Homo-oligomer: A and B are copies of this chain.
Amino acid sequence: MNSVFKALADPTRRKVLELLRQRPMTAGELSDHFPVSRPTMSAHFAVLREADLIEANKIGTSITYQLKLSVLEDALLGFTQLFGIGAAERTPAGATGSPKPTREGADE
């Protein structure tokens, strides 16, 4: 969970997730959206992978990355609910993540 927030701290990585929200994409395809080198992007992918936010799938010579929405959802919603902010109550249509009962007062 800390790794998720660490991963989210970088704008490039957040944008990668946003791109992946629409469809899975290969490393190269993703890299084309950013003004940095392939190895640098590869490092960003590694951070996202370690946070379990994306999933790699090797097909032939290229690697397709896919967003793991449920992990992002669990971290974000969990934190959000910790503050009584929005979310909760009804599982949104099309949600992929876990139901996770509404925790009201959780401190530590």
Secondary structure of the A contact surface, majority rule: helix
Residue A60 at the chain B interface, CB threshold 8 Å: no
Q: Looking at the complex, which of A23-31, A35-43, A92-100 is the stretch in contact with chain B?
A: A92-100
For this chain, the copies found in one complex come to 2
Residue A52 at the chain B interface, CB threshold 8 Å: no
> How many residues on chain A are close to B (CB under 8 Å)?
34
CA distance A5 to B5 in the complex (A): 7
CA distance A89 to B55 in the complex (A): 30
- Interfacial residues, chain A to chain B (CB-CB below 8 A): 2, 5-6, 8-9, 11, 14, 17-19, 21-22, 69, 72-73, 76-77, 79-80, 82-92, 94-95, 97, 107
